[in-house]
């Protein structure tokens, strides 16, 4: 009989079962841990290592300072300075609502806006950028969790509103948005730097030395002279205030190089506060005008160059009236019967200019104006430059040729006018007006910006003759006779042109553009100065009265500043454009519109009895909005604009139509 197997008591059997279960569970856990370790260390090792590095290591981008803009003498006009900006890591913020309430009065931001940002799932949000040093100190003192400061470059303009429209401004992202800041953005923007940083246990960044330091943008030296710019702006603002004018422009060019020493526009603005911009813009390049009598100097220069007239030729001006078809051209000064070519300029005779241009002809006049820079952009380093308009001479009628001779029926910018006059000052060579002298890159490399090539506008002999005639304008009896600058002789041409009333689309009897374009000094020009005062309101509106004194002030201050030696003063000069001493003094006779007939626009209109007036509607297709507006104004056609871009269709189609009909033009941006 075999020995019986001992029986395990029941309590011990359950103990063994429990031990087996625990051992099994532990074994499974060890297997799971082993698998996880295999997955983390081997299968996903590279990915997890990268994730770990991303948690602790960080590469930050260092913003690059924007390049400096300097005047021709090295004075800073636009610089970048470091200022603090406030940012937050919402995941680190302990009390978002309380933090928002405490920060709101410091940052000047609504607490609800801050709370929304502090509740964001993102790890980085801007709360307020580019704050003052005092505000930054208060934010530091607050010591709120998740709130930090970062230094950022901010654009600063030391001269405030000085040359504001020319310089333009840059946005918060450091990109140029207007003016030279926009046009030269590719040079001014620097290259950001890269810095390594390690995040500690609390999530704070410990920054090491930068791997790649930030590279600032190029330093750009402009042709602007800070003193001459200030002088031009002061003289322009004074003229605007004196004559309650709508706007004004002053351009000062170096007569030898066409470098722009001043480009003033009113209204202006402070680029430190772009919100004050309003209607400020670079009107010398963005606005086009019918130049009026200043165009006569180019008409005469063209005729002399072509040999169509000689300087001593004499013309009958018929007492200042000339009929062309249904229109009558009139002179403001009509006391003369015969005028030499120089006297046509001196007394600003419309009739004389028409008789001179008739000898030259349509093709000769158009070709000469294009050689002198009209109807084409100059290429100046500013956005928004317009080319002006000069129609195909093949389409000119007799009246078109006549009105263009004294500055109507075409449009030009003030910078074109200044560049054309600079050709007369510079022995007949047209040079592209420019604002950039040189570009100095961060590595020290110098770059000279490309410019349009020089070209011959007129011969040196014609240029010398024209300078002598322009000096006659300042002599007794000339339209600029009251302008004096002690020690210097001046030369120039006045202009007083009527403007078209936008409401009636006809030349308004009380809307003027007063201008003066001149050389200083006359015998050896150093400066070309063009001043335009738009819509002066008051008793004075002639160019010599309104724009002339500003020209003389700019010339006087600038020549002395440049060290140009004047001649000894023999007698005390007459005051600039003196006011009448009493109410009994004869008031100036307002200039009549240059054409007097059934219609007040340069184009002929045909009367058709009770049906109304017929006008010729031009073909607008393919034109931009600005060009279409110019053409419509010249043709006396009312238009209605739809869309943007270039004109793709119009109604009615080109041809004759009643003047009362509005031409609807559809523009498409494609």
- Strand (E) or helix (H) holding 607: strand 606-607
The angle formed by the CA atoms of residues 377, 383 and 388, to the nearest 5 degrees, is 30
Q: Could you give phi then psi for residue 290, rounded to 5 degrees?
A: -80, 115
Residue 666 contacts residue 643 (beta carbons within 8 Å): yes
Q: What residues contact residue 439 under an 8 Å CB cut-off, 6+ apart?
A: 187, 218, 219, 220, 221, 446, 447, 448, 449
Residue 504 CB burial class (10 angstroms; 0-12, 13-18, ≥19): exposed
Sheet with 205-212, strands from edge to edge, namely: 57-62, 193-199, 205-212
Q: In the structure encoding, which two tokens stand for residue 515, read together?
A: 């201008």
In whole angstroms, what is the distance from residue 411 CA to residue 404 CA?
Answer: 9
Q: Could you give phi then psi for residue 252, rounded to 5 degrees?
A: -125, 120
In whole angstroms, what is the distance from residue 114 CA to residue 488 CA?
Answer: 64
Residue 532 contacts residue 514 (beta carbons within 8 Å): yes
Chain centroid offset of residue 63 CA: 27
The CA-based diameter of the chain, rounded to the nearest angstrom, is 166
Strand positions, DSSP E, 420-552: 429-430, 436-440, 446-447, 455-456, 491-501, 506-520, 527-534
Q: Which of 80, 85, 265, 293 is catalytic?
A: 293
Name the residue among 342, 278, 272, 347 with its Cα closest to residue 312.
342
Residue 520 contacts residue 529 (beta carbons within 8 Å): yes
The CA radius of gyration of the chain, in Å to the nearest whole number, is 37
Q: In the structure encoding, which two tokens stand for residue 350, read together?
A: 């419309």
Residue 656 CB burial class (10 angstroms; 0-12, 13-18, ≥19): exposed
Mode of pairing for the β-strands spanning 69-70 and 219-222: parallel
In whole angstroms, what is the distance from residue 500 CA to residue 451 CA?
Answer: 35
Name the residue among 439, 449, 451, 450 with its Cα closest to residue 217.
439
The CA-to-CA distance between both ends of the chain, in Å, stands at: 112
Q: Reply yes or no on whether 293 is catalytic.
A: yes
Q: What 8-state DSSP symbol labels residue 173? A: T
In whole angstroms, what is the distance from residue 6 CA to residue 8 CA?
Answer: 7
Query: Cβ–Cβ contacts within 10 Å for residue 92, how many?
Result: 16
Residue 477 CB burial class (10 angstroms; 0-12, 13-18, ≥19): exposed
CA distances from 165 to 236, 438, 550 (A): 14, 20, 20
Mode of pairing for the β-strands spanning 76-88 and 125-131: antiparallel
In whole angstroms, what is the distance from residue 667 CA to residue 3 CA?
Answer: 114
Dihedral over Cα of 291, 296, 297, 299: its sign: positive
Q: Which residues are catalytic?
A: 293
């Amino acid at each position: 009989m075999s020995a019986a197997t001992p029986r395990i008591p029941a309590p011990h059997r359950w103990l063994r079962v429990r031990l087996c279960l625990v051992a099994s569970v532990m074994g499974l856990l060890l297997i799971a841990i082993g698998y996880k370790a295999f997955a983390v260390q081997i299968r996903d090792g590279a990915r997890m290592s990268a994730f770990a590095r991303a948690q602790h290591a960080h590469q930050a981008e260092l913003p690059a300072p924007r390049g400096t803009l300097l005047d021709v003498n090295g004075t800073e006009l636009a610089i970048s300075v470091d200022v603090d900006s406030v940012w937050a890591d919402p995941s680190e913020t302990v009390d978002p609502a309380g933090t928002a309430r405490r920060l709101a009065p410091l940052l000047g931001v609504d607490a609800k806006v801050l709370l929304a940002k502090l509740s964001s799932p993102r790890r980085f949000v801007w709360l307020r950028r580019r704050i003052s040093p005092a505000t930054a100190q208060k934010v530091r003192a607050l010591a709120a969790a998740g709130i930090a400061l970062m230094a950022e470059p901010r654009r600063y303009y030391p001269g405030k509103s000085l040359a504001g429209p020319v310089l333009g401004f840059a946005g918060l992202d450091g990109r140029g948005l207007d003016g030279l800041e926009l046009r030269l953005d590719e040079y001014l923007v620097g290259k950001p730097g890269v810095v390594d940083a390690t995040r500690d246990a609390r999530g704070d960044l410990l920054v090491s030395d930068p791997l790649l330091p930030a590279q600032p943008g190029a330093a750009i030296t402009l042709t602007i002279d800070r003193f001459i710019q200030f002088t031009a702006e002061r003289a322009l603002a004074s003229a605007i205030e004196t004559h309650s004018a709508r706007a004004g422009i002053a351009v000062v060019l170096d007569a030898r190089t066409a470098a722009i020493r001043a480009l003033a526009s009113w209204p202006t603005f402070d680029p430190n506060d772009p919100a004050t911009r309003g209607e400020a813009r670079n009107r010398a390049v963005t606005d086009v005008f019918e130049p009026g009598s200043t165009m006569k100097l180019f008409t005469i220069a063209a005729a002399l160059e072509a040999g169509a007239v000689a300087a001593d030729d004499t013309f009958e001006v018929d007492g200042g009236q000339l009929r062309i078809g249904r229109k009558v051209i009139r002179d403001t000064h009509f006391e003369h019967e015969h005028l030499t070519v120089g006297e046509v300029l001196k007394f600003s005779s419309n009739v004389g200019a028409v008789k001179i241009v008739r000898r030259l002809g349509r093709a000769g006049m158009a070709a000469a104006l294009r050689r002198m820079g009209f109807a084409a952009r100059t290429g100046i380093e500013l956005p928004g430059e317009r080319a002006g308009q000069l129609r195909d001479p093949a389409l000119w009628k007799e009246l078109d040729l006549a009105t263009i001779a004294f500055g109507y029926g075409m449009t030009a910018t003030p910078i074109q006018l200044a560049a054309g006059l600079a050709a007369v000052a510079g022995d007949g060579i047209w040079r592209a007006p420019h604002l950039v002298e040189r570009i100095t890159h961060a590595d020290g490399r110098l770059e000279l910006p490309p410019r349009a090539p020089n070209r011959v506008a007129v011969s040196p002999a014609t240029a010398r003759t024209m300078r002598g005639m322009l000096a006659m304008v300042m002599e007794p009896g000339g339209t600029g006779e009251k302008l004096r600058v002690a020690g210097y002789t001046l030369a120039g041409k006045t202009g007083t042109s009527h403007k078209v009333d936008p409401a009636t689309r006809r030349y308004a009897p009380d809307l003027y553009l007063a201008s003066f374009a001149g050389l200083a000094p006359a015998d050896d020009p150093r400066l070309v100065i063009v001043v335009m005062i738009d819509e002066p309101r008051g008793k004075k509106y002639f160019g010599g009265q309104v724009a002339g004194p500003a020209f003389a002030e700019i010339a006087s201050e600038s020549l002395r500043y440049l060290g140009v030696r004047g001649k000894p003063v023999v007698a005390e000069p007459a005051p600039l454009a003196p006011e009448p001493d009493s109410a009994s003094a004869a008031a100036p006779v307002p200039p009549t519109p240059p054409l007097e007939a059934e219609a007040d626009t340069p184009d002929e209109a045909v009367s058709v009895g009770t049906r109304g007036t017929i006008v010729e509607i031009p073909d607008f297709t393919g034109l931009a909005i600005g060009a279409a507006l110019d053409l419509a104004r010249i043709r006396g056609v009312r238009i209605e604009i739809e869309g943007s871009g270039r004109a793709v269709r119009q109604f009615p189609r080109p041809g004759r139509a009643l003047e009362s009909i509005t031409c609807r033009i559809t523009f498409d941006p494609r």
